[in-house]
Every structure is written in C-alpha cells, then in structure tokens.
Amino acid sequence: MKEHMPLISNTKCECGHQNPVGTVLCEACGKPLDEKEWNSSENLEMRYDGVARRSQRVGPGVIDRVWNFFSSVKIAIYLIVLTLLGAMLGTIFPQESTFLNIDASTYYQETYGTAGNIYYRLGLSHTYESWWFVTLLVMIGASLVICSLDRVLPLYKALTRQKIRKHRQFLTRQKLTLVTQVEEEPEVWVARIVQPLRKKGYRVRTEGGALLAEKHRFSRWGPYVIHIGLIIFLLAVLARGLPGLNMDQHLAFPQGETVKIPDTSLYLKNEKFTVEFYTEEEMPEEFRGIKVLPKLYETRAVLYECTADCTDPSKEPQLTEVARHDIQVNSPLSYQGLKAYQFDYDLTPVLRSVQPGLTNSSTGEIYGKFELDMKNPQRSFQAGPYTLELKEKYMDFGLSDEGQPVSKSPYPNAPAFLFLIKGPELPAGGQQYFYFPKQIDKEQFQQSAINDKLGGSGRFLELEVGSMSDVDFSESTTYLNVRVDRAMPFVWVGAGIIMLGLILGFYWQHRRIWLTVDGGELVLGGHTNKNWFGFRREIVSILQKIDMTVDEKSLDNGGGLA
Amino acid sequence: MSLLDFSSDVFIAAFFLYSGAFMLFTIAIMGRRWSGRKPEEHTARWGRIAFIASSLGLLCHLAYFITRWMGSGHIPVSNMYEFMTFLSMMVMVAFTVIFAIYRKIILGVFAVPISIIVMAYAAVFPQEVQPLIPSLKSIYLNIHVTLAALGESFFAVGFAAGLMYLLRTVDFSSKERSDRKQQRLVEFTLFSIIVIIGFLGSVFAFRGAGYESVFVRTNVTIDSPGQGDSTIEKVSYKMPPIVAPYHSEIESFQSFLGIKEPLFEAPSWMNGVNAGRKFNTVIWSLLSGLILYGILRLAVRKPLGKAIHPVLDGIDENDLDEITYRAIAIGFPIFTLGALIFAMIWAQVAWGRFWGWDPKEVWALVTWLFYSAYLHLRLARGWQGRKSAWLAVLGFLIVMFTLVGVNLVIAGLHSYAGTD
C-alpha cells in the first residue's frame, strides 16, 4: 500500500513535534493542532488521545475507501441497528426451521392468512439464513476487525509514548480540570503529591514541575479484547457450516437394541428407557388430578465401537464398549466429540420376535416351534416334518393400488411373512402361507381368508403363538439426537474472550492525571474513559491528603462527555 | 408453620417494607420545602430512614427466596411467579449497589417503585411450588436465570435514572415544537407505566371480587375427506368480557354493571381462544389506566411530567446522565454472561445446539445489540444526555418485551414459563 505524504505541513506543533495528518491533539504536548481550536474553551476531543488513524489518510485509494467505510463507528452502529431490526422481523411468525415437516409455500398462507403469505414471500420465514442477514453478520465481522485495527495501533503508540509535560490548553480543556494557586516551589509541591497518588494505585512520573499519574491502562484494551472474542466467535459459527465438522441426526433406539449410528463406526445400545411422572403427592394440591408433569426421561445407553467385520453384511460386527452413560435431558452421552442427547420417546411397544408353533388345525397336533425375528428373520425353518421357506417379508403390510402386497414403511408396524411350506400331505411345489404375528393385523387383513385362497379348502396347517412368553416386545423407543460439532471449542473460547474483555473494559477505568506547577500556579487536568463521578471523588481525596480542599463539582468542566 | 408459609409471609413483609421505603424516599425529597427545616438535613435524615427500610425489605425478600428454595428443593426461578419475584429482588439489589455508589436519595423515588410493580406483577401468576420438569433440572437454571435477571435489573435502574434525567431536563413550560414533542413523549412514557398499574389494579380487583365468565368454542377440523374432528376449547375470563373469543359461545356469564353479554367479538385473526381473553385484558388495562390517569390529571391539573418536574429541582443532570450510563455499563457484562453465554451453554447441554433462533434467544440478542449500540453511541458527541436517556428508557422496554411480551405473544421453547 502506498504511503501518502502529507501535502500540507501544518501538522507540526509549536513544541516542534511533527504529527501525522489527521492528528487532532499534538502527540507530544497535547495542544490542539487546529488554529481555530486555540481560542475555544470547549472540552477536548480525547477519543484515542487525538491521534491520527489509518482511515484519516488523504487521497484514499479503493482499498483505503473500503477500509474507511468499515472503520467508522457510525457505520458499525448502523450495522448493529439493522441486524437488530432484521432479527426482530424473524420472530413475527415461527421460522421454517422450527417445523420438521411442512410445505412452507402453503403453510404460512393457511395458518396466518395474507400476512403469513407476505411474510413467506419476503423470505422472512427463513430470516436467519437469508443472504441479507448473513451479509449483515459478515459486515459486522469486517467492521469489528477494521474498527479495532484502525484504532488500537495508534492508541497503543500514543499511550506508550506519553510525554509528561503537556500544553496548558490540553490541561484546562479536559473535562476534569483545576487551576489554583500554590505557594511552594514547583518541584517540592509535585514531590508531595507523588505519595498519595501512588497509594491510590497510580503509576507516577515526574519531570520538574510536571507530573503524569496513570492507572488501569489495561482497561483501554477491553473493547479490543471483546472484538477479538467476537471475531473468533463469528468465525467459529461460520466454520460450523464446513463439511465434516458437523453432524446432526435424530435416531430411534428401541429398548434392548443396538443400532448403528450412520456415517460412523459406532453403535449405540438402549439398554433401558425410563419415563417417570410426578406422583400426586409430589404435585401441589391445585394440580392434582388435572396436570401430569414428567419427572425423568432417561436412556441407559452403551456406546460401542466396531473393531472388525464392520462392512461385511454376512458377518456380525464385532463391538467393543467405549462409553456408558445414563442419558437425561440435561446430561448427554459424550464420547470424543460425539454427543447423544435425549430428544423424544415413544411408549408404543414394538414387536421384536415371536415363536409361533406349526399346528394341525384338524387334529390339534403341534409339530414344532421356531423363533421368527421381525428384523432379521432366517430364510428357512424346520417344524417337525415340515420345512418353512421365507419367501417375502413385509414390515408394514399394506396393499398397493394394483392390489399387490407391499410394505408401506420400514418400521415393524404391521409385520407380515409369506412362507412356502413343504412336507407330508402337501402339494409337491409346497403351499403358500401368509402369517401376521399381530392379532390385530390377522383380523384386519383377514389372514385365514388369504390363506384359504392360497392353500385351497383342504388346508390344515396354521402358525399360532401359544402364550405371551413366546412374544418378545421392545417396550419403548427412545429418540436421541446424535451430534458432532468440532467448532464448539472455538465458540466457547470466543465467548470466554468476550467476557474477559467486558470485565476489563467495564469494571476498571483508565485514569490519568496531568499537572504542571509553574510560577505559583497549579494546572491540573484529568481524563478517564468512564465513571467521572468516582474519578472526581478520588482526586478530591488525594488533594485532601496534602491539605488542599476542593469541591467535587468545581472540578467538573461541564460538557458532559462521559 | 412450614417453610413455604413463612416464605410467603416474609415476601408480603418485603412488599410492605418496599412500599414504606418508597413513601419515605418521597417524603425525603418532597418534604425538603416544608417549613422549619433545613432542606439538606431533612433529605439526608429521611433518606437514611428510607434506605434502612428498603434494605430491611431486601433482607425479607432474601429470606423469602432462601426459605422457598429450602421448602421446594429447587431454586425458585422456575416459573413466571418465581422469576418475577426474583427479578424484583434483583432490581432492589441493583438499586442498592447504585445507591451505595452515588448516594442519590431521589433514585429511590424512581427505582423502588419498579421493584414494587414487578412484585405485584408476580402475584398475577399462580404461586404454588411446582416440581421441576426434566429440561429445567440443571445447574444452569441457577446460573443462567439469576445472572440474566441481575443484568436486566441494572438496565431497570438505568431506565429509572434515564427517566429522571428526562423529567429533570425537558422544558415543560416551553411552547417550542421540539420541546412539545419531548413533553408528549415523557407524558406517554408515564401513561404507559400507569397502564401497567391499571392492569395490576384490575386483575386484583376482579380476583378479589371472584369474577368469572366462561366461553366455549367448538373447533371442527377436517383431517381427511369425510373424517371430521371436533375439539371443544374452554376459556375462563377473570375480568368481565368486553370482547369474546372469536366464534365462541357463552357457557356462563356473570353480569357486571348490568352488562349481560360481551360487547363484541375478537377479530378472526386472533384465532386462539386465549387470544380473545388476552385482548380483553389489554382493553381492561387501557381502560383502568385511562381512568387512573384521568384522576391523577384532575388532581394535579397539569401534565404529569410537568407536575413531577419540580421534584427533581436542584438535582445535577450530569449526575443523572452518568448514573444511567454507569448502571447500564455495570449491567451489560452481567447480562452478556447470564442471558447469552450461559444461555448458550445450557442450550448446548440440554438441546444439543447452543443457538437455535428461538424467539426468546433472538430477543435476548436484540436486547444485547441494542445496549451495544447504546454503548457505542456514548462515544459519539451529541449522544450524551437527552438522546442517551431516551435510549435507556427504550432499552428497558425491549428488556420487558423479552421477559414478558415474548411469552405472551410469541411463545416458543421458553413456553414452560407460563403466562397469563
């Protein structure tokens, strides 16, 4: 970047110091550089100690113009206010993202009428993902970086190179100032006040009859620390959008089953899901019999890692336990950045397996029992002299428009099995037999009528479950939200830095006192970035220590710059 | 006497002590022109008594908090009643801190009533101890809610000081256009506060009289062709229905001042039965607010702002400006930590995402952005004083909307807080 040489050389102060263009107060003695300022008695503009910032160069190029735009606090405030207004708009109606399954193009019209339709058409139903909102956030990010850089470097320079003796105008035009008579010799008077200042925590430097006392300078870096924290935070949030850093799935885990977590080599077993409600005694009287309040949702979960045979479908994967946790709403399972949160549950029992027996309906003879697993049934079974071959499996039985049997979903809501039975007294090609393990499905889909059609009138074989002990249910299903979010540590680091900066900047104040004693006259000026009230009080008490009584209010030069 | 009974007794004691403190603060300021007194001495003496009363109130309030915690087994910030009682306690804590720094007796006249109003608002909600639902069982309930409330309480004190600044500096006798505008805005702000008092007054008056009317509405939804589903919704009005829910029928109606039926029906876009009830509450609040305002105007025979203005005579306006700024500057980091950072940590632990653009989260962010803008504007010349005081007033309005309005109007994930 090209350095611009100052074209006009009125930046040289009468004290001999050459200041860069844009300087308001001489870097050395603090005298205002603008001649028009000399006769004024208004408070000085003390922001950034009146030093020149990069954005104040003359004859800016394109990059300088962009820099200047983002370095303006005014622009930053506009960006904050626009973001604030945009964020408000997004809360008028629920955002699309709060629904799992809607057609947004009709939902808003139907639910909220014309206003809803306009809301949707303006794109406000996804405000926070919209290009303009994201652009605003990115612009705030740019403003944070550039505003900080533009100010922190000159300010750092100014504060590390402070001169002790300041111009009289600099002192009398501070918001806090005092001009009074002293009788002692300058050096003697100055030496007397050093100790009380040090006691209050000031670092004091003197130069003959001049003095500079300063404390808590670090508080000046507070805002910049906040901005660094915000930048880290914003970058971390942006990084969450990168592939591979983020995983978010909602999975169902029936009790007692081990389910693979997609895209990982991990399996999670729900050993037991518990839901508890408060008893009548635990509830306030007013609620008894009216309200039901949940007390606990808990999934006893075990996490396994697959160590071998992970991809071979013909073999059982070999699993090693890696973590175990009782997952509750505020207590997720955590393993190497993967977290499983309690999300939802379903108490509808899910059929896992049955042990039907093959019986002869005319004689009542039972040929044999076998175990039929709903999810992974064997291909063939033996019951006495009969062989049952599994031809088709339907997890959620239904009929297609053409009247063909189909499975409506992969969930075992209405499982159905089509067997081909071979054996004595059956046709050579075998006999087809439809089996619905659930009683309700048997009746609804008319199992016997179907089988009568398939096997004809001479049919004598039936599959029947003898007792409830032959039925295996999973009592409930827990739904877990399984997440990986590799950017989270950076989000927290950013938040931590923001807090640190806030505490530095808001709970301490940078206080400086300059004074000169010259020809029997004491001129004192004081500056702080916040809390003038406390500062005035402190100066009064310090002066009190050397037997000088000053009224707090008389120190105030007016102007109200806080 | 059980712990919980003791708890509600000391709570009432705190309420009366605050009310007493408010009156004493007012005497300390208003009585300085009474004959035969030295103004400074009078203010200092009565101010000290008032501060002792408010501190005793705060001690009772703390006793309420601790005993309710012990009695219920969990920190009492889990529903709207408990939160509002806690917020009012934090307002007193913030007031005490700022008072200890600045020793301005007049602050008590404006800050203590905020706490009293919030306390009264708490009493609108059901007061029973409820067991915690699973999502609230977390250490972050203790941290997030308390810190957020404390930060917001400093904003409340900033609001009080900002309003004082305006009442002190607006020229109430001027006929200039810009001054007239300021006068009207101050008057509107005061009127809004009176409407809130009107709301509280009408709630407690009708509750005391045991008023109730019930409406039913049958909703028919058509799931699939030929399959209709009808649900019956019932809503009980605790204030005489001026407006009935949209498309509803009267089940029972207690007549009030000879009115035997609602005057009109809520418009169709207010589709929930509760929307009608809430609308009715708004109308009653405005009505009673207007009546109360009318009575006050008749009593003082001038705009309220003009009537209060002399009370603030002799108070340094720069001090008020600084108190406003300082209260907000103290509150801002606490608010950030409590309402945003711990909110994100808790959301991450409970829901698996630290930020989800839920309305409550968005409004907490809006509050934060607003006060960030305020703090940046303080750097600019010309934004101290008047404009800054208006921002402090407006900011607290946003805070209250985040706390109350979002639950009333928008709901979302924070709906367990429950509202009336």
ipTM: 0.89
User: What is the rounded average pLDDT of the residues B241-248?
Assistant: 81
What would the pLDDT profile of A175-200 be if each residue is shown by its tens digit? 899 999 988 888 999 999 999 999 99
Phi, psi dihedrals of residue B274, rounded to the nearest 5°: -70, -25
Q: Is A470 in a helix, a strand, or coil? A: helix
User: Of the candidates A384, A369, A372, which has an alpha carbon nearest to the alpha carbon of residue A422?
Assistant: A384
Of the listed ranges A137-151, A191-205, A242-256, B117-131, the least confidently predicted one is A242-256
3-class secondary structure, A3? coil
Round the average pLDDT of chain B to a whole number and report it: 88
> What integer is the mean pLDDT of B198-212?
89
B353 interaction partners in chain A (CB closer than 8 Å)? 483
- Three-class SS state of A400: coil
pLDDT, tens only, A330-380? 999 999 989 999 988 888 887 888 888 888 888 888 888 888 888 778 888
Can you give the pTM of this predicted structure? 0.87
CA atoms of A5 and A351, how far apart (whole Å): 84
Task: Give the C-alpha separation, A562 to B321, whole Å.
Answer: 9
- Name beta bridge partners: A326: A300
Chain centre to alpha carbon of residue B392: 15
Would the CB atoms of A295 and B379 count as touching at under 8 Å? no
Task: Give SS3 for B244.
Answer: strand
Question: Crossing angle for the helix pair B3-30 and B39-72, nearest 10 degrees?
Answer: 170
HSE at residue A465, side-chain half, CA atoms within 13 A, is 17
Q: How far apart are CA B18 and CA B56, in angstroms?
A: 9
Q: Residue B1: what pLDDT?
A: 63
First to last CA, chain B: 30
Of the candidate ranges A46-60, A503-517, B182-196, the one whose mean pLDDT is the lowest: A46-60
Whole-number pLDDT of residue A490: 93
CB contact (8 A) between residue B379 and residue A47: yes
CA distance B199 to B195: 6
**CB contact at 8 A, B368 and B336:** yes
Q: In residues, how long is chain A?
A: 562
Find, among B96, B80, B93, B82, the residue nearest to B7 by Cα.
B82
pLDDT at A223: 93
Model confidence pLDDT, tens digit, residues A512-537? 999 999 888 999 999 998 888 889 99
In chain A, which residues have their Cβ closer than 8 Å to the Cβ of B370? 84
Neighbours of B170 (CB within 10 A): 20
The predicted structure's pLDDT at residue B224: 52
Q: Which of A87, A343, A498 sits opposite B362 (nearest CB)?
A: A87
What is residue A214's predicted lDDT score, i.e. its pLDDT? 95
* Alpha helices by DSSP H, A335-473: 439-444, 447-455
Do the Cβ atoms of A88 and B366 come within 8 Å? yes
Decide if B110 contacts B312 (C-beta within 8 A).
no
| Gap between the Cα atoms of B234 and B231, Å rounded | 10
Whole-number pLDDT of residue B390:
96
Please enumerate in sequence order all residues whose Cβ is within 8 A of that of B83, keeping only pairs 6 or more positions apart, or say none.
Answer: B77, B122, B145, B149, B403, B417
Confidence label for A82 from pLDDT (cuts 50, 70 and 90): very high
Instruction: For residues A24 and B404, give the distance between their C-alpha atoms in angstroms, rounded to a whole number.
Output: 47
Contact in structure between A419 and A436 (CB atoms under 8 Å) = no
Q: What is the mean pLDDT of residues A243-257?
A: 85
Q: Which amino acid is at A83?
A: T
Q: For A550, how many CA atoms within 13 A lie in the half-sphere containing its CB?
A: 24
Q: How many residue pairs bridge chain A and chain B with CB atoms within 8 Å of each other?
A: 147
**B160 to each of A275, B3, B108, how far by Cα in Å?**
48, 34, 9
Neighbours of A478 (CB within 10 A): 27
Cα–Cα separations (whole angstroms), residue B173 to B5, B312, B387: 52, 15, 20
* A72/A499: higher pLDDT: A499
Cα–Cα distance, B366 to B346 (Å, whole number): 19
Contact B389, B325 (CB under 8 A): no
Q: With CB atoms and an 8 Å threshold, state whether A483 touches B269.
A: no
Q: Residue A225 is which amino acid?
A: V
Q: Determine how β-strand A461-464 pairs with β-strand A431-435.
A: unpaired
A80 to chain B: which residues are within 8 Å by CB?
369, 372-373, 376
Task: Report which secondary-structure segment, H or E, holds B67.
Answer: helix B39-72
Give residue A78's pLDDT band: very low, low, confident or very high (50, 70, 90): very high
Residue B306: per-residue pLDDT: 92
- Are β-strands A294-308 and A318-327 bridged in parallel, bridged antiparallel, or unpaired? antiparallel
The reply to whether residue B322 touches residue A499, judged by beta carbons under 8 angstroms, is no
Q: What is the pLDDT of residue A59?
A: 67
Cβ-based contacts of B357 with chain A (< 8 Å): 90, 95, 97, 127-128
- Beta-bridge partner residues of A320: A305
* E strand map for A384-430: 386-394, 397-399, 405-407, 416-422
**Site of tokens 């081909």:** A420
- Closest to B101 in 3D by CA, of A360, A532, A96, A134: A532
CA atoms within 13 A on the CB side of A542: 22
Assign residue A382 a region: left if phi > 0, alpha if psi is -120 to 50, beta otherwise? beta
Burial of B362 per CB tally in 10 Å (0-12, 13-18, 19+):
buried
Q: Searching chain A, which residue's CA lies closest to the CA of residue B101?
A: A534
Phi and psi at residue A343, to the nearest 5°? -120, -45
Residue pair B138/B72 in contact by the 8 Å Cβ criterion = no
Average pLDDT across chain A, whole number: 86
| Tens digit of each residue's pLDDT (9 = 90 or more) over B129-167 | 888 888 888 999 999 999 999 999 999 999 999 999 999
Best residue in B8, B169, B349, B378 for a mutation probing chain A (most A CBs within 10 Å): B349
Check CB contact under 8 Å for B318 and A560.
yes
User: Is 90 exceeded by the pLDDT of residue B296?
Assistant: yes
- Bridge partners of A255, per DSSP, are none
Please say if the pLDDT value at position B37 is more than 80: no
Note whether B140 contacts A330, CB cutoff 8 Å.
Answer: yes
Preferred mutation among A47, A75, A83, A84 to probe B, highest tally of B CBs within 10 A? A84
Are the Cβ atoms of A532 and B322 closer than 8 angstroms? yes
pLDDT at B396 over 60: yes
The percent of residues in chain A predicted with pLDDT above 70, rounded, is: 96
Give the percent of chain A with pLDDT over 90. 32
**Of B226, B203, B369, nearest in space to B287 by CA:** B203
Find out whether A303 and A324 touch, Cβ atoms under 8 Å: yes
